[in-house]
Structures are given as C-alpha cells and as structure tokens.
Chains A and B, each alone.
Chain A
C-alpha cells in the first residue's frame, strides 16, 4: 500500500466508525471496496491487517456499536470489507480468532438486527460471504453459521438484486463444497454428498416438489446457474437425481415456471458434461416443445437449434415450432404453402398457434415479433437447419408487411382478423423489415425478388410509414439491392435492380424532402451507402443523374438540423468522389465542383454545430487520400486553406481530424512511415517523394508545424496525442536531414521553445513567429516527444482516480457534508 494511503487510513476508519459522521455518497464506499480488493489481490491480507490495525478496529467497532447506531451503508461496507479480507485462509483464521466473522455473518449478527430490513445490508452480507467463500475453512464456517439457511430464504427477497445474489451464492457454495470430490458417479450416490452440498441439493429437491410456483422458480434458477457454471462430472449425478423431478413438472397444467424451465433445459444441454450422454434430456425437451404455448416454446426452439449435438428429429421439431406462426399466416392469407416437407412437420400444434395469433391483437403482435426475431438470429448461424425454407420465409415476411400496410385483403375469416390485428402495427413492421433484410443473403427467385422490391417500395412510399419504419425499410432495401446483383464480374446489375431503381429514386427524392429530420437523414445515409457500392455502375449512374437526388442532397447542406447537414456533407463528398454531382444546364461540371468545395469550406468555417464540421473534415481527408481531382489539382492550396480553419475549431474532434488530414498529406509528400522491423520488405515507391529540405519549407509555409505544435498542448488529450504521433513521424523522417544544419552552426530555437513553453502553460493566445525549417528541426530534436507520448497515453483523470485522491475526498467531505445537500447535476 502506498505510504500516503497508509497514513490516511486510520482517519478514514475513524470517520467510518463514527455514527455521527455520514459519508457523502455511495460511490465513495464502492470505490474504497474496489481499492481494497486490488490491494488484497496483490498481497497478503493478513499482513495488511497487521500493519493497519485500524481496519480490524473498524470491524470490531461496527459490531460493538448498538445495531441501531450503525448506518446501513457503513454496515454493508464493513460486511463486504470483512469478506474481502477473509478470502485468504490465514486472514480468515485471524479474523475468526476474535469471533469477528461469526459476529458479522452468523445468526446473532446483522440477521437479527433491525438494519437487516434495509436491502443494502442484506446485499452487503451476501457480497461479504461471496468474497470469503474461497477455501475449506470458509466452507465449515458457512455450514456452522446458519448462513446457508438464511440464503434459502433470501432467494425470495423483495429486492431482485438480493434474491439473484443469494441464488448465485448458493451455486458458488455448492461448487466449492464439491471441489476435489471424486469424479465417479458411483461415489456420489446416496448420501455421499458433502454436508453443505447435501443440504443445498435437498433444498432444491424439496422446492421442485413444491406446489408453490416461486419455490419451483428458485430451484430451477439455482440449477440453471449450476449447470451453466460447473462442468464437472458431479453435475451429471445431480441431473440424474433431479432430472426426473424436472420432467415431472411437465405433467402439471399449466406448467409452472415455464420460462425458468426452458432456461434450465438449455443450460443442461449446453453443458459439455452432457455432450455424449442422453440422460433423458432430449425426451424432456421434445415433450416440452410440444406442450408449451407457442410464445413460451419459441425461446426453447431457438436454443435447441443453436445446440451442436442435438438429435435431428428434435431439431426438426424445434424448427417446426419456429416456423409455425409464419406458416399459419401464409395459410390464413391463402398463400401457396411452400414446399410440402416443411409444412408436414409444422401441422402438429398449429391450432394452438392459430389460437394465439387470433386471440388478441397484443398476443398476435407479440408472437410474430418474437418469431421474426428468432429466425433473424438463426439465419446467419452455421447451426441453422440445412433445409432453410428461404422461399417460404421471404413470402411470409412479404405478406406480413402487406398485412401491416393493409394492402392485402385475405378472403378467409382468419385472414381478415389477422389483417385487423396487424394493420398499421409499427412493431411488427419493424421486426419484419429487419428479418427481410437478413433474408437478402439467400437465393431467391426473380419473381419473388420482384415481390420483395414491390413491398419495400410500398413501405417507402406509404405516407403512413413512421420514421423508424422508413429507416429499417431503407436498410432492408440496401441489403436486397446489394445482395441481389449478379456476380461482380458482370458490369450490369441484376435484372430486377435497374427497374427497381427507376421506381426507387422518385421515392428517395420525396423522402429527402420529408418534414421529419430522421427520415431525411436515413435517406441520405442510404444514398451514401448505395453510392459507395454502386457509384461505378452505369445503370445506377444513369438513374441517379437523371433524378433530382444530387440537387436535393446539395440543398440539404443548408438543412436546419445539424445531423442532416452532416449526413448531406458525407453524401455529397461521396457523390463528388464518384463524379456524380448534378451538373445543371447553366453551370458546367467544374463550376459545380468548385462550388461544392466552397460550400464545404463555408460549413467548416461557420457552422455552429460540430457534426457537420466534423463531416467536412472527414470528407476532405478522404478526398486527399483518394487524390480527388479538385484536391490533386492544387494540394498545397487545399491544405493551406483547410488547416487554419480546422486548427482553430472549437470541437476537438475536428482538430483531431485536421491532424489526420495533415498525416495523409505528409505520407504523400514524405512517404509512408518507415517500418521499424528490419526484415519487412518495403515496396518501391511509385513516385519518389520530393527532396526533404523543399518539403520542409513547404510545410513551414503551410503552417503545418504551427498547427502541430499548438495541438501538442491542446487541452483535449486525443488532439495532443495525435499531434505527438505526427511530430514523432516527422522527427523520424527528418532525422537524415540533420545535415541541413551546417556543423558548428547552432540555430536559435530559444524563441520557439519559449513560445512552446508558454503554450504548455496554457497561454495559447501567444503567436508563434514564422518558423524556418532549421528551427523546426532543432525544436523537434530538443523536445522529449517520446516522454510526452507515454504521459499522454495515460488517461487524464488518473490522478483524480487514485486511491489517495479518494481517501482525501472522503475525509474532506465529512467536514462540509451538511452544507452541500444532495442535488442533481
């Protein structure tokens, strides 16, 4: 422990032990515990207690105080602290000598105090026990102190946090007591379980037989955690013993704690212990799949399908459960019911699904959303069924979207009721669009693809579509457009796409003019992505240039909403990179292009919000990197124009982006950073960089160094870090240029250094005299950039986060607590 902290510790303990002194806030106590945990993990707890007797004094004092005098927060803290120390066996024995642990965790301790009614005390008690339960001595202690019984009742605590922690601790104790037990199942039969484990198993067994649902749930939760965490052979014996009781629960009507039962079965099935053994698990799962309600069976079906080792028959059954709702929808709307094989397996239990779908609107919506989400999750997994009914799923997603749009009129009465339940339902629309998006990767017939595009267009066109639905519709459309095109070798896009694009662009135009900023923004994001992928395709270029979209995007550069302006900047940057700006009749392409640079520079210099300015800086960097025609025409002019703007920007991310731009410029003029590894083969450079002295002169003229040096002392750390990296790169590059300086001639860097020092002191207003290459080189050499780099790598609040600072804060706060009452930010 830091000597300064050790010095402050007695005062801290005194404050905590004094009931008249209240500690400012909970976060301090939590952070103190974090600190003690780090200290004890790094060294001996016993030594810590012996060197700092105030710690044991604190615990003793808390126990000695009349219970009503201890603040619940301090009591909870002390329990956690005692547990942390007692995690080491020698320290445990040391604390036990004084009966301290029994006092704190035994039945006569807080369990019987009035403070026990405060949840944080119960929580602290459990956390303390959880920390100390690490060794055999602790196990004996737990058995003797009555703690396990208390934990049984805490599983039903009114606080979710306490109940959950109690359940977790029981599992931990069970695992601890089984540690090192013989692996063979025969050795554990009968009453061969260790006492503590036996007690827990008996309790779980009794709960499983109980008629009270909460008890059953608690038992199932303990078992779920056990099989999830412990993968030792004894868990197999445990399942052998309790499995039949679990299976027995299925005979009840309704099945108690169905969700927890599903979790348990999946947890057992996932355990590697059961990888090869059958143990009746699959049979129980199959029974459960058939008797649960469709919405309860869904998660079990998905979980089963994700398993690696499950029998084929069960997989088919599970997949049938997942498909059922969609099949019912297709039947009710009199769609062709897909390939025969799939439906045969789904007929069983379909009446229950139909009942759920038709029972009420909320049940119908709930089941459909869940089903769509489950199938979406399954789609990209390698475990998904081999016979993936792509056609059926696409058809189902399309028909669901049509039902939501109200654009289909089923003749059957079920279809009519479904239509009534789903019409205008945004929740289902969102889920169906997400699902439809993931289906773009499968092989789909051209006819069906046309249907997909038609329904997407319908959703995008519909005046009733909400902004969130439109966003998802754009995303799904993008996926279908990009995935549906023919193999990349072909220059043409897939057949449906060009036709679709012609219809899509008027809709896109309309959405770019939407009164909702969310919609305009989603439309711009869509345009940007599509252009990035298809900017070179002739069909796309033709449709885009024939539309009003480029003009509208330009107009959105002046949108009142900053998010939209930023997206418009990115979109225009992308369009321009691909040579896709609108050339109006009056102005030529060049004028438009120059107009765009001017417009973006305008945004960079005057926009009051950070997002658009950041977007401009990013676009400019990209343009420079890709040698965009306008930039390449006069790169130096470009850099000279942009740098003064970004270097003065209030937003540190713009300044950081500006440094990125400089880095790209330097890489282009000086060549890439040389690899430090001598064995790396470097490719010959395409065009040899200009001679160094000349480059340095240019950099000085462009005020690159002024920007970089100033940024080095920026109050925002990422900027300083980037500047430091940049200058180190320059130092590395200019090393061979030391010859620039004649021997014996020493350049005068004092004025530069003085200015830099003043900047470091925060006086950024000081101007830097015009730099000459010589001065720059000297300054670079004289600065400890490596040291600065490592200092900057540390987070800037490391001092404030230190334990010493924490202790000082706790102690200082006590004195003034009453003055500053609780407040919000």
Chain B
C-alpha cells in the first residue's frame, strides 16, 4: 500500500500461512490531504481491521515509516498489537508530536490526530529487544535484528511454521560515527523484503563526504559567515554533531555551535538510555566520555540569531517549512557570506525544496519576496545500504526470493536483474496496490516415537545426521500434531484390531502327476534353490518358505494342469514375488 516503486510512505501487507501482518505504517509528507496516509480500506473489505490483522510492526521512527500510526490506531480503529524496538517506542512519539504541532500550527489542520491519540497509540505498543523471539500468538513469532540507519532501527523476521519473511525496513551495511552496521543471520527466509533507496548507487566514500561537509562549514565560519543546518530532532543530527564536535576539538575552533533548545537534552537522554544500540566505539568510550555530551555544542536561544560573527546552528524542522529553522533562514538568507546545508530530502512546497532546486527569489507571506543570497548546499547523510550493501545482505540471509520496496522503479529494475543473476532467486518489485503471490513448500514437523526409533537402532542402522533415512511407521494426525509411531503402538492407541493381509497368486503348471507328488517336487526344488531359507513340507501336503504357503491343487477342468496356490503376507512381499516368478518358470525335469 506504500513504498511500492516509490520512496513515499512505507506500508506493506504480508499474509503468511494464514497470518496477516502490516509492516510499517508511514505517511507521505508531500501531501496535506488524505493522500498523506495509506488507504487502509484496501486491507480488508470484510470485517474489522483488528480481527483481520494479527499485528503491526514498525521498523524505525522516521515518519515515512510510522507517521500514520496514530491515525491508523486511533482514527481508523485498529486495536491490535503494535511491535517496535524500545528506542523506537521512546522516540516515535517525539517525532509524531513534532509533526502534529507543525500540521496544527502552520496549516491550521483541525482534523488531525491529537497528543492524546499519540499517547493512546503508543500505549498499544509492545516493545521488543534485539534477537528476542516474540510469540505474537501460538503460531506467529517475530524477531528483531539490528539495522543501523537510525537509533533503534530494526529488521524483523516474521515466522509461521517453516515459512518466514524478513523485512529490512531502512538499513545501512556500513557503520557510521554513532551506529553500527546492519546484521541478520543466515535465516534462509522464504522471502526477503528489502529497501532499495540506493539500488544503483555505490556511494562515494563516506569520509569523502564528511571532509567535504567540514570543509564547507569551516570555510564559511572562517570568512565570518553563519551556517544553518536544518535537521529533524533525532537521527542524522547527532551524527553531524559528533562530526563537528570532533573537528572543532581537533582544529581548536572557538566559533559557537548551537542546537535547537530542548532537543539536545532530549537526544542526549535517549542516546544515553539506548547506548547499547550505538556502535562499538561509542559504547567503549562511554565510561570515560559520553560522545553525546558535547563540549562545543550549546543550546540555542532565538536571541542568538542576531548576534554578530560566525556561528553554526542546528535547527528544526529539517525541510525549512516552519518553526525555528525557517525563522533563522529568513534572517540569514540575505547575506552571501552565510550558508545553509540541507542534509536530507525535502518535499515539494517547502522552502527547503525550493532553495535546493535553485530558486533564489521566494515569495513569503504578505507578498514579501525573500531574496536568497546565502549559499545553499545539499549533502545527503542518510544512512541507507547502497547496491553493494543490499547484495551483501541478500547473501547473508540466503532467502528463497527477494522483494524490493522503497526505491525508484528504474533503479529497482537494475538491482532486480542483478540479484536474479547472482543469487538465482526470483526478485519482485511490485507497484503500490499490486499483490505478489509466492508459492511455498511448507515442511511439516513430525514427532517420532521412541519405540520406533529404538527398533530402528536395534536393526543396527545407526543414524547419521546428514543422511536421509527411510523409516516405516504409522502417521497419526491428531489435535493438529503429527506423530510417527510403530504400527503396533498405533493400533494400541487407536484401539483397533490387527488384520492380516495375504496375497495369493495362482501358478499353472503342465503336469499330470498327483497333487501330493507335485507338492513334494516343489519342496525339493525350493529346498535346493533357496539354501538360506527355511523350507518345510507340512503334513497336510503344503510347502512353506518362511511365511509363504504353497499348495498344489488339480485344475477343475483340465486334469493335465496343476495349479500352485502361492500365498504370502505383506511383510514378505519380496520373497513372495520371487517365488512366484521362480515357480512360473516351471519345475526341473526329474527322471520318472
């Protein structure tokens, strides 16, 4: 319903072995009307969402992955469980609240979710730990893996019986300054749903981008200019802060760096709380020095914007569409010495989008025109896996098939071919609204009784772990469990009497002698042929070989023909067939 051949709002519905799971519940910030949320009426035409969906899973706190959640749970009426990691649960409401405030403040939207709704929605969340297997119900289980990208981002494995899906959300396969690299074990899922934002890009060295960023900031402050970096409250802002802090320390710079007030403490608090989610370096050095307690970065007060001299300011929101960042931008835009660095994507209609597309005369409220003389730079610091990273993850997980989402159609197509060629698995890239159906061959686990196993062992065949073995027994399917037991045990358990099944075959032989004589001849022939078997001639004239019984009779119509009745049990099928074939060849000629 979202993220199909686009990078808008992620929302994917997966049906796996009768369970329905919604992956992410994102919003599209480019729209201001109903179109910003996925059309949830397509999920099910029949009945309530809460009955239809078994759970909702949120991969991380970015709004294009969780922005529609309060709308879905409090306005559309989904009342079931929502799963996300602990950091996502903590940070998600902050971003939702920020967004809500801008929507209500700037656009005056009345019919929007309220703070109370955000809180009620967050109360429905079940927070999970990494690598913890969470049992949603008796059949459905989920497990989170580290995804990098932003604090708390996770990939999720969804498993029902032997079928499973791994959903990556957004991920990064290379560690950055504060987060580690994504990792998933070789779980061989039936399907891997991967993001593909940078499907065709092999990203230039991260160091290179960082150097470029620092150089630009440094040059600007050196010549006395001010640098504005619009960011969202949490995420890459912290990455950039660490970068600047280290650089300032190394270069011994004195120019002040400010961060939107309130947010530094908040971010600091969460990074401290979830320190285990950061990368190894930060965790290791945490005891001596908390990387998020910045020496050079101070809280910003709006009066500072008028201070003379250079400075660097991180301000929210990230697209320059409202609030503090826009206010500072308007103050500083007229001076060519200043610079604004946009570290992320901006949707159409925002001032961020306009200046990035090169517009230099912006119409503001009340017919005012703002002339942008300051320098405008775009420098993407978003942490997605590039083509190499995506291939690496596919190799790591070894899925049966791959489905690409969260990317552009053209680029996906390129990657799709590459994946199919290299891994020889099917790769899909459905558009929004399209359904992909994958046939699976579920393996059903069967319990084996100890008795049967012991019997097999007694036959001297020691089990070898990697070798397939044929085992005879009776399969009992009861109370949705499957067990293989010996037939005797099955009879006992089910209270049934045993029936013997015998096969009888007639062999016609041209012979005029009497039946008794005939039987004797058969006996001596078999006795001499079957050396290792127990051949007996019974007093009633019949011959037995093990459990096989042979009787001679006269033909009712033709006295010159004798009929041999060969009868054997199911267990001696092999010997019975052999004897029949042998007797059909006729008896050896004996001197009369």
A563 to chain B minimum Cβ distance, whole angstroms, is 5
For residue B378, CB closer than 8 A to chain A, the reply is yes
**Considering only CB atoms, which chain A residue lies closest to B359 in the complex?**
A812
Q: B107 and A797: CB pair below 8 A?
A: yes
For residue A48, CB closer than 8 A to chain B, the reply is no
Q: Which of A487-495, A672-680, A736-744, A815-823 lines the interface with chain B? A: A815-823
Q: A717 and B46: CB pair below 8 A?
A: no
For residue B366, CB closer than 8 A to chain A, the reply is yes
In the docked arrangement, what's the CA distance between A438 and B42, Å? 29
Q: B97 and A610: CB pair below 8 A?
A: yes
Residues of B within 8 A of A112 (CB): none
Q: Map CB proximity to A onto B1-39 as digits: 1 under 8 Å, 0 otherwise.
A: 000001110000000001000000000111110010000
In the docked arrangement, what's the CA distance between A657 and B435, Å? 48
Query: With A30-B35, A816-B358, A824-B197 as given contacts, are A800 and B350 in contact (CB-CB < 8 Å)?
Result: yes
Q: B123 and A806: CB pair below 8 A?
A: no
Which residues of B, 96-113, contact A by the 8 Å Cβ criterion? Answer: 97, 101, 104-108
Residues of B within 8 A of A796 (CB): 106-108, 322, 365
For residue A160, CB closer than 8 A to chain B, the reply is yes
In the docked arrangement, what's the CA distance between A373 and B97, Å? 31
A77 to chain B minimum Cβ distance, whole angstroms, is 15
Query: With A819-B378, A823-B382 as given contacts, are A25 and B349 in contact (CB-CB < 8 Å)?
Result: no
Q: B108 and A813: CB pair below 8 A?
A: no
In the docked arrangement, what's the CA distance between A608 and B299, Å? 13
Residues of B within 8 A of A653 (CB): 101
Query: With A795-B106, A796-B107 as given contacts, are A119 and B47 in contact (CB-CB < 8 Å)?
Result: no
For residue A503, CB closer than 8 A to chain B, the reply is no
Residues of A within 8 A of B48 (CB): 370, 373
B127 to chain A minimum Cβ distance, whole angstroms, is 10
For residue B384, CB closer than 8 A to chain A, the reply is yes
Q: A825 and B123: CB pair below 8 A?
A: no
For residue B459, CB closer than 8 A to chain A, the reply is no
**Considering only CB atoms, which chain A residue lies closest to B137 in the complex?**
A362
In the docked arrangement, what's the CA distance between A20 and B261, Å? 45
Select B138's contact among A361, A522, A652, A821, beta carbons within 8 Å: A361
In the docked arrangement, what's the CA distance between A174 and B139, Å? 46
Q: A717 and B266: CB pair below 8 A?
A: no
Q: Which of A80-88, A141-149, A241-249, A758-766 lines the interface with chain B? A: A758-766
Select B42's contact among A161, A259, A608, beta carbons within 8 Å: A161
Residues of A within 8 A of B175 (CB): none
For residue B561, CB closer than 8 A to chain A, the reply is no
Q: Map CB proximity to B onto A487-519 as digits: 1 under 8 Å, 0 otherwise.
A: 000000000000000000000000000000010
For residue B573, CB closer than 8 A to chain A, the reply is no
In the docked arrangement, what's the CA distance between A196 and B32, Å? 39
Which residues of B, 250-295, contact A by the 8 Å Cβ criterion? Answer: 261-262, 265-266, 269
Select A26's contact among B6, B319, B434, beta carbons within 8 Å: B6
Select A812's contact among B265, B305, B358, beta carbons within 8 Å: B358
Residues of B within 8 A of A158 (CB): 434-435
For residue A427, CB closer than 8 A to chain B, the reply is yes
Q: A521 and B119: CB pair below 8 A?
A: yes
**When A and B form their complex, what is the total count of cross-chain residue pairs whose Cβ atoms lie within 8 Å?**
210
Residues of A within 8 A of B434 (CB): 119, 158-160
Q: B324 and A808: CB pair below 8 A?
A: no
A515 to chain B minimum Cβ distance, whole angstroms, is 13
Q: B357 and A468: CB pair below 8 A?
A: no
In the docked arrangement, what's the CA distance between A180 and B334, Å? 64
Which residues of A, 511-537, contact B by the 8 Å Cβ criterion? Answer: 518, 521-522
Q: A795 and B108: CB pair below 8 A?
A: yes
For residue B50, CB closer than 8 A to chain A, the reply is yes
Q: Map CB proximity to B onto A2-46 as digits: 1 under 8 Å, 0 otherwise.
A: 000000000000000000000011111011000000000000000
For residue B541, CB closer than 8 A to chain A, the reply is no
**Considering only CB atoms, which chain B residue lies closest to A373 in the complex?**
B48
Query: With A159-B434, A366-B51, A765-B303 as given contacts, are A430 and B321 in contact (CB-CB < 8 Å)?
Result: no
Residues of A within 8 A of B364 (CB): 799
A14 to chain B minimum Cβ distance, whole angstroms, is 17
Q: Which of B340-348, B418-426, B484-492 lines the interface with chain A? A: B340-348
Query: With A160-B42, A161-B433, A373-B51 as given contacts, are A823 and B7 in contact (CB-CB < 8 Å)?
Result: yes
For residue B302, CB closer than 8 A to chain A, the reply is yes
Residues of B within 8 A of A467 (CB): 123
Which residues of A, 425-449, contact B by the 8 Å Cβ criterion? Answer: 426-427, 430
Q: Contact size class for B?
A: 35 or more
The count of residues in chain A whose C-beta lies closer than 8 Å to any C-beta of chain B is 81
In the docked arrangement, what's the CA distance between A763 and B307, Å? 11
Residues of A within 8 A of B502 (CB): none
**Considering only CB atoms, which chain B residue lies closest to A369 in the complex?**
B51
Most B CB atoms within 10 A — which of A120, A800, A824?
A824
In the docked arrangement, what's the CA distance between A563 and B93, Å? 10
For residue A805, CB closer than 8 A to chain B, the reply is yes
Q: A823 and B6: CB pair below 8 A?
A: no
Query: With A158-B435, A715-B323 as given contacts, are A299 and B47 in contact (CB-CB < 8 Å)?
Result: yes
For residue A338, CB closer than 8 A to chain B, the reply is no
Q: Map CB proximity to B onto A609-643 as digits: 1 under 8 Å, 0 otherwise.
A: 11100100000000000000000000000000000
Q: B265 and A608: CB pair below 8 A?
A: yes
Query: With A518-B123, A797-B349 as given contacts, are A815 and B358 in contact (CB-CB < 8 Å)?
Result: yes
**Considering only CB atoms, which chain A residue lies closest to B28 in the complex?**
A27
For residue B510, CB closer than 8 A to chain A, the reply is no
A798 to chain B minimum Cβ distance, whole angstroms, is 8
For residue A57, CB closer than 8 A to chain B, the reply is no
In the docked arrangement, what's the CA distance between A813 and B354, Å? 8
For residue B380, CB closer than 8 A to chain A, the reply is yes
Select A716's contact among B51, B105, B269, beta carbons within 8 Å: B105
For residue B64, CB closer than 8 A to chain A, the reply is yes
Which residues of A, 791-813, contact B by the 8 Å Cβ criterion? Answer: 791, 795-801, 804-806, 808-810, 812-813
A542 to chain B minimum Cβ distance, whole angstroms, is 31
For residue A650, CB closer than 8 A to chain B, the reply is yes
Which residues of B, 307-358, contact A by the 8 Å Cβ criterion? Answer: 318-319, 321-324, 326-327, 330-331, 344-345, 347-351, 353-354, 356-358
Q: A824 and B7: CB pair below 8 A?
A: yes
Select B80's contact among A427, A795, A824, A825, beta carbons within 8 Å: A427
Q: B29 and A825: CB pair below 8 A?
A: yes
For residue A360, CB closer than 8 A to chain B, the reply is yes
In the docked arrangement, what's the CA distance between A361 and B479, Å? 11
Q: B348 and A820: CB pair below 8 A?
A: no
**Considering only CB atoms, which chain A residue lies closest to B108 in the complex?**
A795
Residues of A within 8 A of B18 (CB): 362
In the docked arrangement, what's the CA distance between A521 and B125, Å? 14
In the docked arrangement, what's the CA distance between A430 and B124, Å? 11
Q: B351 and A800: CB pair below 8 A?
A: yes
Select A825's contact among B62, B79, B378, B409, beta carbons within 8 Å: B62
Q: B378 and A162: CB pair below 8 A?
A: no
For residue A236, CB closer than 8 A to chain B, the reply is no
Interface residues of B (CB under 8 A from A): 6-8, 18, 28-32, 35, 42, 45-48, 50-51, 62-64, 79-81, 93, 97, 101, 104-108, 115, 119, 122-124, 137-139, 170, 197-198, 201, 232, 261-262, 265-266, 269, 302-303, 305-306, 318-319, 321-324, 326-327, 330-331, 344-345, 347-351, 353-354, 356-359, 363-366, 378, 380, 382, 384, 406-409, 431-435, 480
- What are 30 A-B residue pairs whose CB atoms fall within 8 Å in the complex? A24-B348, A118-B431, A119-B434, A299-B46, A373-B48, A521-B119, A608-B262, A608-B265, A609-B266, A653-B101, A764-B302, A791-B366, A796-B108, A796-B365, A797-B321, A799-B364, A800-B321, A801-B32, A805-B354, A805-B363, A809-B359, A812-B354, A813-B353, A816-B356, A816-B357, A823-B380, A824-B170, A825-B62, A825-B64, A825-B319
Beyond A715-B327, A797-B349, A816-B357, 14 additional pairs, beta carbon < 8 A: A158-B434, A160-B42, A161-B42, A262-B46, A366-B51, A563-B122, A608-B265, A797-B322, A800-B349, A800-B351, A808-B359, A815-B358, A823-B345, A825-B318
Minimum-distance CB pairs A-B, first 5: A765-B303, A161-B433, A27-B30, A823-B345, A812-B357
